[in-house]
Structures are given as C-alpha cells and as structure tokens.
Amino acid sequence: MQVVIVGIGKVGSTVAEYLAAEGHEVTIVDKNPAVVERMVNNFNVLGVCGNGASAEVQKEAGMAKADLVVSMTSSDEFNILCCVISRKSGARHTIARVRNPDYFHQMPFLRKELGISMAINPELEVANAISRTLRFPSATKLELFSKGRLEMAEITLPTGTMLEGLPLHKLLQKFGGIQVLLCAVQRDGQVTIPTGDFVLHAGDHINITASHENMSAFFKKLGIYQDQVKSVLLVGGGKISFYLARQLLQLGIHVTIIEQDEATCQTLSELLPKANILHGDGTDQELLVEEGLERMDACVSLTGIDEENIIISMFAMMNHVKKVITKVNRPPLFAIMRSLGIEGAVSPRSVTGEMVLRYVRALHNSTGNSVQTLYKLLDGRVEALEFIVGEKAPFIGKTLQDLPFKNGILVAGIIRNGKLIHPKGSDVLLAGDLVVVVTTITGLRDLSDTLAED
C-alpha cells in the first residue's frame, strides 16, 4: 500500500516505523528537514520537506494516489484540513490525529461530511488502557477482546507461586478447572508460544487469556489478586490525566492530581470538580509524602518527561504503593524500567501505532477475515490479534486440529454469538466467529495467514 504520513513527531515516527517494517511504500512529510533526513536514513521511507496541507507538497508526496494519508501533527485543525484536502484530491482513506474533546466528539459528522476515515486520540486511548489496568490491578497490563468477553493479562511470575515449576498441561488440573490459557512467555530475552510441556519459572513475563470471571478466580488462586483501587494519585495534569480522571471519578475512585502549571490546575478544577487538584511539583518528594502517597492504592506518573516519570514511579514503589503505572515515549526504556522493577508502562506512540497498523491490515485484507483488534505484547515481539471469520473462508467447518497452523501461532479464544469458547482441537470455526490469535509472526493481515501453504 502507498501511505503518506504527515507530521513526524513521536507518534508519527512510530507509525512510519511500523508501516515501513511491514513493507508498505511509506512517504513522510514534515517541515523540519533534520527530522525528514533522520527518518529517510534510518528507515525504508521516502521524505518530503514542507507543509503537508499545501497543494504543491501534497503533489510531490503523491497524496492523490495514496491508499492512505495519516496526519499526525500537533494541530487538530491542521490534521483535519490535511485529510480533507488529500481526500478531495484522490486519496482513498485518511486518518487524523484529533486530541481536542470538542472535535473528537464531532467525528461522526466529520467522517460523514468531510470523508475522514478515522480519528485517533492518543491521550484518550492511553487513558483507556490505564483505566483497564486500574480496574484489574493484579495485572501489569490488561487488554480486551470482543468488548471484554475475553481478557488478556500480562504479569511477571513471582517467586513461590503454584505456577513455578509447573508444566502447562497440568494447569487446568492444578487450578481446579479454572479456564485460562497461558499464551506467551518471555524469559531471558527469548519469546515463546508455549506448548503443554513448557515449564514455568519465577521471573517469566507471561500473558494469560480468560474470561473476566476466570481471570479473577485464577489470580485469587495464585495468591496475587488485588482489589480494584479506591484512591489514585496522578502526577501531571495533561490531557491523559484529564481523560483518565474523568473515567476514574465515574467509577467512584478518589482522584488527586498534582500539576506544576497554575493555569492548568484552574482548568482542571473547573472540569473535574470532584477531583483533588494540587498546584505543585510532582517530583518533590516532600510534597508527595505530605499528600499521602503511601496511603494511595495507585500512582500514575504522566508528566511530559520520561525520566521524571520513572523517578516518580520508583519513589512510589519505595513508599509501598501497590499499583504504579508510568508513561514513557521511548520504547528502549521499557527494558530498563523492568530491570528496576517498574512493570506497568504505557506509551502513547505505541498505542497509536497499533491502531493505525490494525486499520492498514484491515484495508489490505481481501477475503473478509479481517483484523478487528491488534495489540503488541512483550516489547512488541508478540502480537495478539482478533479476526472475524468471513462467510467464504476456506477453513469454515474444519476442526482446529486438522488445520495446518504455522509454527508460532496459538488460537487463544473463539467468541461465537457473544459467548466465549475456550478452544480445543475438536472445535470448528464458523462464519461470523471472532477468533483471537497470539503469534510471534508479525504482519498477519488475514486469518488465512496463520495457515501453512499446502
């Protein structure tokens, strides 16, 4: 596919990197020549320097012939304008980064009247991800499939649990029939889609799928279950904090926000009257202690500086806060954070990249077995995808054990008529099923891609 990406900041560069890695013809557009040069030198992309909304630059970038135009600048108005112009010029699909709540709520109108295919609000999506984890704090990360009918939790296996030294084929028996599926493991830098003979060790980073009820029962049996948080400290008062606080307050959770900018504090006080808004420096340890950090159920560091967020999270852990979540934008920091014991990390650029990647793979699909949901797991080395089974899929009615799946493929769940099926070899796929696949193979665009060629 021919893709043009306008605005190569933290988010735009990640989108370009993801799409270029999958073999798409990517052209980047940015006003900063140094940014364009760096991307062209480091990734398989073409570069154009200039204003992505101007007719001359759009022509040079080939937007009229593009399958997809993605506008990711910091200006909502520019992104909308860029998408409208390129769509009118001939681009088949457009995606705009829209962060302002007023604009974002008008997207049904903008899609219908202006032809914008999709709007992405990175801050809102990150807030959604954090909110999911705070509602199930036993996991370091929680993803949902089929509107929550199937959950995927990520944890680091602690020492001394029932799982340590356990072969996976004994999992169901050991846990009294609780239906869970362990679908990915990272150990010593190596990622594995485990078989029944795989033996778990303390320190393994694992991903588990189950229904919400079975997931809760599993964590309780394992002895690491945590109740939903009741009080949260948010450090940093940006858009993520606003979206997150609004969701948490609706759940009845007490929210305190510390923000350095006085004007932002005033705005938050008006928008979030039920939250406790404090004007101060979130890296000030005395202030954090004075405001009862050690009594908080969770601390989420959301400043604009990765290093500050990591330091705040480390201090929160020192004060025995049970749930600590850290916003970072640079993926290489994830491994460093894990070595420091900071497990909960979120990245706006990664969340946005996954959303665009899902959309592109669905566009590229031609048989109807398209991608509905996509998450990257374990430092991006594993993908979890949700496909819908098309009416003409060649594998309909065949049992899973008779299908020639490629190595590195695991069917983690089937949702049929709104009900979760824990897959067995004797199960079959039917048209309309939602199928969740976990794989170490990147770039799957169609459920048929999971099968080996005859």
Q: What is the CATH number of the domain that holds 424?
A: 3.30.70.1450
Tell me how many degrees the CA angle 50-124-20 measures, rounded to the nearest 5: 45
Q: What is the CATH number of the domain that holds 70?
A: 3.40.50.720
Q: What is the value of pTM for the model shown?
A: 0.87
- pLDDT per residue over 276-300, tens digit each? 999 999 999 999 999 999 999 999 9
Instruction: Compute how many other C-beta atoms are within 10 angstroms of the C-beta atom of residue 448.
Output: 17
Tell me how many degrees the CA angle 354-359-362 measures, rounded to the nearest 5: 125
Q: Are residues 25 and 82 in the same domain?
A: yes
- pLDDT per residue over 240-257, tens digit each? 999 999 999 999 999 999
> SS3 for 68?
strand
Q: Which of 320, 346, 372 is the last residue of a domain?
A: 346
Tell me how many degrees the CA angle 221-250-210 measures, rounded to the nearest 5: 30
Q: Could you tell me where the beta strands, DSSP code E, fall in 201-263?
A: 205-210, 231-235, 254-259
Binned at pLDDT 50, 70 and 90, residue 435 comes out as very high
Instruction: Tell me which DSSP letter residue 400 carries.
Output: G
Residue range(s) defining the domain that contains residue 397? 353-450
Q: How far is it, in rounded angstroms, from Cα 348 to Cα 125? A: 8
81 vs 109 pLDDT, higher one: 81
Q: How far is it, in rounded angstroms, from Cα 430 to Cα 444? A: 20
Q: Which of 120, 138, 162 is the last residue of a domain?
A: 120
Looking at residues 257-269, what average pLDDT do you find?
96
In a domain, 35, yes or no: yes
The per-residue pLDDT for 147 is: 86
- pLDDT per residue over 371-419, tens digit each? 888 898 888 889 999 999 988 888 899 999 999 999 999 999 999 999 9
Structure tokens at 432: 């309309």
Q: Which of 290, 322, 346 is the last residue of a domain?
A: 346
Q: How far is it, in rounded angstroms, from Cα 369 to Cα 433? A: 10
Instruction: Tell me which DSSP letter residue 199 carries.
Output: B
In a domain, 214, yes or no: no
In a domain, 177, yes or no: no
> 260: phi > 0 → left, psi -120 to 50 → alpha, else beta; which?
alpha
What's the order of all strands across the beta sheet hosting 150-156? 141-145, 150-156, 205-210, 181-187, 190-192
Q: Are residues 331 and 367 in the same domain?
A: no
The per-residue pLDDT for 368 is: 61
